[in-house]
Each structure stands twice: as structure tokens, then as C-alpha cells.
Amino acid sequence: MEQFDETDARILRVLQKAGRISNADLAERVNLSQSACHRRVGRLEQLGIIRDYVALLDPRKVDRRATVFVEITLKGQTDDVLEAFEREVARIPDVLECHLMAGTADYLLKVVARDTDDFAQIHRRALARLPGVAQMQSSFALKTVFKTTALPV
């Protein structure tokens, strides 16, 4: 992994919280000249440390009030089974995250839905049809205590 220094880390901390900040304001906040700040951000982008810029939406305001964590156990662990599952699950727009796990479940999915009825439809039309699935267990989040996308750097 390419190393970054403390100045780069300050830039990354600011950009993770305020991705639309102007270069002038970013430079001021991290105590750099505008040109040096611009070069560093470009370098961090080129190295792939900064992967993308996105808008984070409020799920409630786009009618996705239910967050469901789904544990999936597959029938087998062969490369073909894993690859087929991963290829198909990536096509489901309601699945925000999919993690290959160590432990009792093979995969953990984070799914968003309008409500329990909507999740039932997602389960029926998409999740239940995923290849290689032996068992699924769904857990509804009652409350999001906190949530961040900012990595500690």
C-alpha cells in the first residue's frame, strides 16, 4: 500500500466529511497552499486512495426506512458456487453491501426496503432466487445508533 503522510491524512479526514469543499477552503483547513493541496488531492485520487465522490442520501427521505441484515449460508464453498452467488447478488439494487464472512454464515448482506412488506417482495423476487443458497436469516434494524462512511486515517 502506498504510504501517505499526516498532511494527506488531514486532507482525507476533511474530504470524507465534506466532499464538496472547494480546494481553497480545503487548503486553508489543512494549512497548505492551494496549488500544493490540489496536487496532493490529485495524487491521492491517482493512487486510488480516494476512490470516488458521492452524495449520501437520507434513507427516510427516499422512502427506504427499513434496514435488514441478511445472513446467508450456501450449499457449498466451491469457487463456482461463490462466484455465481456474488455475481447475482451484485445485481440486486436493494442490496447495499455484501460481505463474505468467517463464522456461521457465508455472507452478510445489508438490504434497504420501504417497509416489511417491501422486504418480503425483495426476499421473494430476488433473495430467494440467489444461486447456491441453503439458508437465510433476516434481522431488522430497529434503530441506527450511528453510521459513518469515514474511515479512520
Question: Is residue 42 one of the residues assigned to a domain?
Answer: yes
Question: Is residue 151 one of the residues assigned to a domain?
Answer: no
- What global pTM score does this model have? 0.91
Question: Is residue 92 one of the residues assigned to a domain?
Answer: yes
pLDDT string in tens for the chain (153-residue length): 568 899 999 999 999 999 999 999 999 999 999 999 999 999 999 999 999 999 999 999 999 999 999 999 999 999 999 999 999 999 999 999 999 999 999 999 999 999 999 999 999 999 999 999 999 999 999 999 999 999 999
Both 123 and 68 in one domain: the answer is: yes
Determine the pLDDT at residue 3.
Answer: 83
Question: Is residue 131 one of the residues assigned to a domain?
Answer: yes
Determine the pLDDT at residue 1.
Answer: 52
Both 22 and 84 in one domain: the answer is: no
Which residue in 35, 13, 65 sits closest to 4, CA to CA? 13
H helix or E strand, kind and range, residue 95: strand 95-100
Q: Would you say 113 and 126 are in contact if contact means Cβ atoms under 8 Å apart? A: no
The total number of structural domains that make up the chain: 2
CATH number of the CATH domain containing 104: 3.30.70.920
CA contacts within 13 A on the Cβ side of 48: 2
Both 74 and 123 in one domain: the answer is: yes
Both 78 and 128 in one domain: the answer is: yes
Both 85 and 136 in one domain: the answer is: yes
C-alpha cell at 135: 439458508
Both 76 and 117 in one domain: the answer is: yes
**36 CB-near residues (< 8 Å, 6+ apart):** 27
- Cα–Cα distance list, 61 to 32, 55, 58, 114, 134 (Å): 37, 14, 5, 11, 35
Domain that holds residue 12: 6-46
Determine the pLDDT at residue 42.
Answer: 97
Question: Is residue 52 one of the residues assigned to a domain?
Answer: no
Question: Is residue 33 one of the residues assigned to a domain?
Answer: yes
Both 77 and 38 in one domain: the answer is: no
